[in-house]
């Protein structure tokens, strides 16, 4: 330990008032928990919306009691209208992608643990950090408010393709005020994430303690750093796109609406805009967003697995290089979302090639995980189970990506449930499993109490079986020609598929119940869980070196830690057992069976 060099940009006294401590807090740990709480709330809303959609898809004309409370005109007699189904679908996707999959693994865990893992007392710009959360939360409120204004939320899907998204109410319920609120919400969200990325990058580069070289950062810290670099560039592009979309609505400009478009028998007043322009801008953000959602999960899962394997990964550096390669390539593949857009076929080919190339770092990451797991005496607990589940989902969802990377196959499958199954597994469920792995692993440090392991394992197995029961049949549905975004399956050839939809709906409800078990476990353990020790998993990285659990206001008391080792010294002969912490000055002798 060495004397703490107080950092003016960071140092702030522990707040004493309730507002300063829990609401407008500058403490990265509180902000991380606020992000987690918001993501949890958003996930519950998003899951509730998915339940409503699934019930409607299984039993199209069934009344859902109380549904009319969510909409003025979308549920006469509590039966969902086609338009309201699309509105729910849009809100489900937007909430889950932006306010759950982006915020929980990146902003929530990253805020809480990145400064601690690098050995800092806080992020360098705590006011910006606080603004980051509150701006994001305002974005969430703006989005949800669209349920209660005008004709409700937008129905254009989370991609908000022009021209439908840019022409106003003539496009359908929610295409006026709903779209404006959607775009405003996302633009606000972008500002919040840019402020967050600024803090994450500077924390990683400038706030590391003595001895903490970049290569000594844990894989989770690397993942957050790489993600913040992606966020910095991706959200900086989505924000101007949203500004232009809002202007098309409120100022009558023609950025995204071309000439002579007739919608609902009405000639649109716009001229000369490019509908493809929106898609380019959106997907330049959209595909990196996939990795913004999944790369933190990769880091968290690697961190959790190593601790439970009691040995490092086959190659720490190759794993980091691969995550970096995913980040770089993610900007070069975005056009594969536009194979059916009317884009030049040569462009499709140009985007298809890097799409296939990006499978290489993905495969390397998976092989490192599997190779490292081979022969490991893995501790089975809720966190490691969800980490294994993450790998399973990532592989299962990734394999279908090989098919979709090829334009000739994608053209047939693009608008079907095959794609829905693909992205739900590879970025939705996998990222959620990463969040769960992180929650079970870090909860003891965050709250000083252990989560219930039995409930955790029940949660895992129900979620694991349930997720496959929901999303694997999606692939079959897609191959059978089941078009996505239909609210009912009236064509003859889809009729035989309805029983399968009913099965999926039951599986979705079953999986949802598992999440309620998780919620109960989370709340119960927060107040009544068994007390946790400072290092319950016998882990090595700095978050387990804090003087108290949860960590004190400035993380390490009056002394910042000094780092002596790589992050994962497991399977070694140390004074504490089979591991040596990063802060331990003792010499380490490591053995390697492979060497």
The residues with which 531 forms a beta bridge, in sequence order, are 449
**Please, which residue, 197 or 554, has the CB nearer to other proteins?**
197
Taking the complex as a whole, the smallest distance from the CB of residue 326 to other proteins amounts, in Å, to 19
Residue 271 Cβ vs other proteins, minimum distance, rounded to whole Å? 5
Nearer to other proteins, 74 or 168 (CB): 168
Residue in 11, 44, 42, 41 with CA at minimum distance from that of residue 28: 11
Cβ nearer to other proteins, comparing 243 with 517: 243
φ/ψ region of 496 (left if φ > 0, alpha if ψ in -120 to 50, else beta) reads alpha
Q: How far is CA 108 from CA 28, 111, 145, in A?
A: 9, 5, 23
Residue pair 108/30 in contact (Cβ under 8 Å)? The answer is no
Contacts of 371 (CB under 8 A, 6+ apart): 314
Residues interacting with other proteins, by CB under 8 A? 2, 5-10, 124-125, 194, 197-198, 201-203, 205-207, 210-211, 232-233, 236-237, 239-241, 243-244, 247, 251-255, 258-259, 271-274, 276-277, 280-281, 284, 562-566, 569, 585-593, 595
Residue 427 DSSP code: I
Please report where in the chains the tokens 């004309």 appear, as a residue: 61
- Only one residue has tokens 């004397």, namely 3
At its nearest, how many Å lie between other proteins and the CB of residue 255? 6
| Closer residue to other proteins in complex, CB, 77/272 | 272
Q: Please give the structure tokens belonging to residue 518.
A: 């998780």
C-alpha span between 428 and 423 (Å, rounded): 6
Q: How far is the CB of 534 from other proteins (least distance, A)?
A: 22
CB of 253 to other proteins, least distance (A): 5
Closer by beta carbon to other proteins, 49 or else 246:
246
262 backbone dihedrals φ, ψ, rounded to 5° = -110, 120
Q: Which CB atom, from 215 or from 461, has the smaller least distance to other proteins?
A: 215
Nearer to other proteins, 37 or 240 (CB): 240
Pairwise CA distance, residues 386 & 431, whole Å: 10
CB of 590 to other proteins, least distance (A): 5
State how far Cα 440 lies from the chain centre.
17
Closest distance to other proteins from the beta carbon of 176 (Å)? 17
Rounded to 5 degrees, φ, ψ at 4 are: -70, 125
CA dist 115 and 10 (Å) reads: 11
**CA separation (Å) from 444 to 422, 539, 542, 549?**
34, 12, 14, 8
Question: What 3-state DSSP class applies to 124?
Answer: coil
Non-local (6+) Cβ contacts of 205 within 8 A are: none
What residues have CB less than 8 Å from 463, skipping those under 6 apart?
Answer: 389, 433, 436, 511, 514, 515
- The CA distances from residue 77 to 69, 131, 161, 266, 430, in Å, are 11, 43, 31, 31, 37
Measured from the CB atom, the residue of 409 and 562 that comes closer to other proteins is 562
Q: Which is nearer to other proteins, 242 or 477 (CB)?
A: 242
- Considering the complex, state which of residue 301 and residue 572 has its C-beta at the smaller distance from other proteins: 572
User: Residue for token digits 């090639």?
Assistant: 353
As a three-state string, the secondary structure of 257-301 is CCCCCEECCEECCCCCCCHHHHHHHHHHHHHHHHHHHHHHHHHHH
201 or 469, CB closer to other proteins? 201
Q: Residue 542 CB, nearest distance to other proteins (Å)?
A: 15
Contacts of 267 (CB under 8 A, 6+ apart): 260, 261
- Residue 338 or 396 with smaller CB distance to other proteins: 338
**Shortest distance, position 478 Cβ to other proteins, whole Å:** 31
Q: Kindly state the smallest distance separating residue 214's Cβ from other proteins, in Å.
A: 13
- Comparing CB distances to other proteins, the nearer of 78 and 573 is 573
Q: How far apart are alpha carbons 526 and 182 in whole angstroms?
A: 34
Rounded Cα–Cα distance for residues 48 and 369 (Å): 34
Beta-bridged to residue 266, according to DSSP, are 263
What b/e string do you get for 563-579 counting C-beta neighbours within 10 Å, with b at 16 or more?
A: bbbbbbbbbbebeeeeb
- Closest approach of other proteins to the CB of residue 118, in Å: 12
Name 476's Cβ contacts closer than 8 Å, sequence gap at least 6.
500
Q: How far is the CB of 90 from other proteins (least distance, A)?
A: 23
Rounded to whole angstroms, the Cα distance separating 293 from 107 reads 10
Q: CB 583 → other proteins: shortest distance, Å?
A: 11
Min CB(211)–other proteins separation in Å: 5
Token pair of 191 as six digits: 């500002």
Closer residue to other proteins in complex, CB, 315/392:
315
Could you tell me the smallest distance in angstroms from the CB atom of residue 375 to other proteins? Answer: 14
CB nearer to other proteins: pick between 382 and 582: 582
């Amino acid at each position: 330990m060495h004397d703490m060099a107080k950092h003016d940009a960071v140092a702030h006294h522990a707040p004493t008032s309730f507002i300063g401590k829990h609401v407008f807090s500058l403490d990265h740990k509180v902000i991380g928990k606020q992000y987690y709480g918001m993501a949890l709330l958003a996930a519950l809303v998003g899951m509730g919306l998915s339940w409503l959609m699934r019930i409607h898809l299984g039993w199209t004309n069934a009344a859902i009691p109380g549904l009319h409370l969510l909409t003025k005109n979308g549920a006469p007699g509590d039966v969902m209208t086609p338009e309201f189904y699309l509105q729910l679908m849009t809100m489900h996707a937007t909430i889950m992608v932006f306010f759950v999959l982006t915020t929980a693994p990146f902003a929530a865990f990253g805020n809480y643990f990145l400064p601690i893992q690098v050995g800092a007392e806080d992020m360098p710009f705590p006011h910006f950090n606080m603004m980051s959360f509150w701006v994001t939360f305002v974005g969430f409120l703006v989005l949800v408010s669209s349920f209660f204004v005008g004709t409700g939320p937008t129905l254009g899907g989370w991609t908000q393709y022009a021209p439908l998204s840019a022409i106003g109410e003539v496009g359908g319920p929610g295409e006026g005020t709903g779209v404006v609120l959607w775009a405003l919400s996302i633009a606000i969200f972008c500002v919040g994430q840019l402020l967050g990325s600024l803090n994450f990058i500077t924390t990683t580069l400038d706030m590391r303690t003595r001895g903490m070289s970049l290569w000594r950062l844990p894989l989770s810290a690397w993942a957050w750093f790489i993600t913040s670099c992606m966020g910095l560039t991706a959200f900086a592009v989505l924000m101007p796109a949203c500004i232009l979309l809002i202007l098309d609505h409120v100022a009558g400009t023609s950025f995204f609406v071309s000439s002579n478009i007739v919608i609902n028998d009405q000639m649109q007043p716009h001229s000369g805009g490019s509908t493809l322009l929106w898609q380019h801008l959106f997907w330049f953000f959209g595909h990196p967003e996939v990795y913004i959602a999944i790369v933190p999960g990769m880091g968290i899962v690697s961190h959790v697995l190593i601790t439970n394997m009691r040995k490092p990964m086959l190659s720490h550096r190759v794993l980091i290089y691969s995550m970096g390669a995913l980040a770089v390539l993610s900007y070069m593949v975005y056009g594969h979302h536009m194979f059916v857009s009317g884009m030049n076929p040569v462009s499709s080919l140009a985007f298809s090639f890097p799409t296939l190339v990006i499978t290489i770092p993905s495969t390397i990451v998976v092989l490192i995980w599997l190779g490292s797991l081979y022969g490991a005496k893995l501790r089975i607990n809720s966190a490691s189970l969800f980490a294994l589940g993450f790998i399973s989902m990532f592989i299962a969802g990734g394999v279908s990506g090989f098919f979709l990377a090829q334009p000739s196959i994608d053209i047939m499958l693009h608008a079907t449930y095959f794609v829905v199954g693909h992205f739900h597994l590879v970025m939705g469920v996998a990222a959620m499993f990463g969040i769960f792995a992180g929650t079970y692993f870090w909860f003891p440090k965050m709250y000083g109490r252990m989560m219930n392991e039995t409930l955790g394992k029940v949660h895992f197995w129900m979620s694991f079986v349930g997720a496959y029961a929901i999303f694997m049949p999606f692939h079959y549905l897609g191959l059978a020609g089941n078009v996505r975004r239909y609210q009912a399956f009236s064509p003859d050839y889809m009729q035989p598929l309805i029983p399968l939809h009913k099965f999926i709906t039951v599986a979705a409800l079953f999986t949802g119940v598992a999440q309620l078990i998780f919620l109960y476990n989370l709340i119960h353990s927060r107040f009544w869980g068994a007390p946790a020790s400072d290092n319950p998993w016998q882990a090595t990285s700095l978050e387990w070196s804090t003087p108290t659990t949860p960590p004190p206001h400035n993380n390490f008391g009056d002394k910042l830690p000094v780092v002596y080792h790589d992050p994962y010294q497991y399977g070694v002969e140390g004074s504490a057992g089979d591991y040596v912490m990063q802060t331990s000055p003792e010499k380490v002798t490591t053995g390697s069976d492979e060497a």
